Amino acid sequence: MKPADGMEEKIAKGEFATDGYDTTMTWIAERYLYGRLREDGELIVPGSDFETFYNSMGVSNIGAFAGIDETIRSLFTLDTATSAQLEDLYVQRLAELDAIALIDDQLQSTSGQDSLQLLVDREVHVDQLTSLSQTAVALVQTIRTDRIGRVADIQASNNAINAQAIFEQNEKTVNDLLLASIANNGSLQAGQITALESIASQCPYTGGTAVFRARGLLTGRSELVFNDSEICGAGEMPLLQNPGNNASVLDQQAFEIFPNPATGSFTVKVVGGEPMLRELQVLDLQGKLLLKRTLAEEEHSTVVNTNGLVSGMYFVKVLEEGKAVFSEKLIVQ
């Protein structure tokens, strides 16, 4: 057991503080300590600050998210019997392949009756290899079916978390999208990728650790690259890598959304850029397109009715010539 250090003791006592981003950084620190205590119970001495901290976090969103993390990891952990069965099938198939390869070598220097017998033996090994492969495929399919069934249960638990702060909402959304990709064999729809990009484009000091998780899920799925010194210091402006390797920037300063949070309606105002046709989109946290509107070249603002949207967080995007030039979170009350 690694002994607790002074910083961990401060976290447990509620004395952790930073120069900025207090709420987010405190939440990240508390998640770290709760995770450590969850793995190393020896620190939870009865009557200690660690015990008090652990018990209080266990009934909070931090405890709920830790449980989600643990069950997601369990999706990729096989029980001992299944693991041994897969290993045995692998070894048996290798043995059959070796036997077939040996017969093929012998056939090069054999003829007549001996050659016919070798062909018969080869067919036996091929049949056995086919049978073993079919068994392995069926077992993998069973594992996958079980995993998908468990994904639905984890999604239900994740959806039940009452996320309040933006870093909690981000965590909940990334969990949901990760689980969706697991259920769909690693695939995500375009709208889901957009939702990930909206989170990945945030400053981690306000958006939380889910920002980094979103960026990880975007690997191989998006051309967005991120410079946190610019994102956190200059209005959350991610760099967009185009095919010519020339960096362009999502123009967060050319548009405004107000009021935010919105009740009944909100306004999108164009405050810069060249006159052109634009498309306004409103998406939910899963990236599903809910509203779409075309802005004429001469339109400098538009009012969007939110009466058809339930209370919660959404993403508002503006596209120019099919490319996203603005993305912002919107809270509907």
Q: Which residue has the higher pLDDT, 164 or 239?
A: 164
Q: How confident is the model at residue 1 (pLDDT cuts 50, 70, 90)?
A: low
Tell me if the pTM is above 0.85: no
β-partners of residue 326 are: 318
In the predicted model, is pLDDT for residue 244 greater than 50?
Answer: no
Q: Which residue has the tokens 């981000």?
A: 170
Q: What is the pLDDT of residue 238?
A: 39
List the one residue out of 87, 288, 93 whose CA is nearest residue 191: 288
In the predicted model, is pLDDT for residue 275 greater than 90?
Answer: no
Strands 312-320, 239-241: pairing is unpaired
In the predicted model, is pLDDT for residue 251 greater than 80?
Answer: no
Q: What is the pLDDT of residue 242?
A: 32
- Give the helix, strand, coil percentages of the chain, each rounded to 5: 55, 15, 30
Q: Which residue has the higher pLDDT, 299 or 122?
A: 122
Q: How confident is the model at residue 87 (pLDDT cuts 50, 70, 90)?
A: very high
pLDDT, mean of residues 155-163: 93
pLDDT, mean of residues 150-174: 92
The average confidence (pLDDT) of the chain is 83
Rounded distance between C-alpha atoms, residue 195 and residue 172, angstroms: 12
In the predicted model, is pLDDT for residue 61 greater than 60?
Answer: yes
Q: What is the pLDDT of residue 111?
A: 79
Q: How confident is the model at residue 223 (pLDDT cuts 50, 70, 90)?
A: confident
In the predicted model, is pLDDT for residue 255 greater than 60?
Answer: yes
- Superfamily in which the 252-332 domain is placed by CATH: Immunoglobulins (2.60.40.10)
Q: Is 50 helix (H, G, I), strand (E, B) or coil?
A: helix
Q: What is the pLDDT of residue 272?
A: 65
* CB-based burial, 159-170: b 16+ in 10 Å, e otherwise: eebebeebbbbb
Q: How many CB atoms lie within 10 A of CB 27?
A: 21
Rounded distance between C-alpha atoms, residue 327 and residue 249, angstroms: 12
pLDDT, mean of residues 176-202: 89
Q: What is the pLDDT of residue 285?
A: 65
In the predicted model, is pLDDT for residue 247 greater than 60?
Answer: no
The amino acid at 270? V
β-partners of residue 119 are: none
Cα 148 to Cα 159, 173, 179, 294, distances in angstroms: 16, 18, 9, 39
C-beta of residue 283 within 8 angstroms of C-beta of residue 315: yes
Q: Is 301 helix (H, G, I), strand (E, B) or coil?
A: strand
pLDDT, mean of residues 156-185: 91
* CB-based burial, 33-53: b 16+ in 10 Å, e otherwise: bbbbbbeeeebeeeeebbeeb
Q: What is the pLDDT of residue 273?
A: 64
Contacts of 306 by beta carbon, 8 Å cutoff, 6+ apart: 262, 263, 264, 265, 266, 332
Spell out the domain ranges in the chain.
6-59, 80-156, 166-248, 252-332
Q: Please count the CA atoms within 13 angstroms of the CA of 99 that sit on its side-chain side.
A: 18
- pLDDT tens-digit readout, 276-295: 788 888 887 666 788 888 88
Q: In what order do the strands lie in the sheet with 239-241?
A: 224-225, 239-241, 247-249
Q: What is the pLDDT of residue 316?
A: 85
pLDDT, mean of residues 46-67: 94
Greatest mean pLDDT range, 126-140, 236-250, 259-273: 126-140
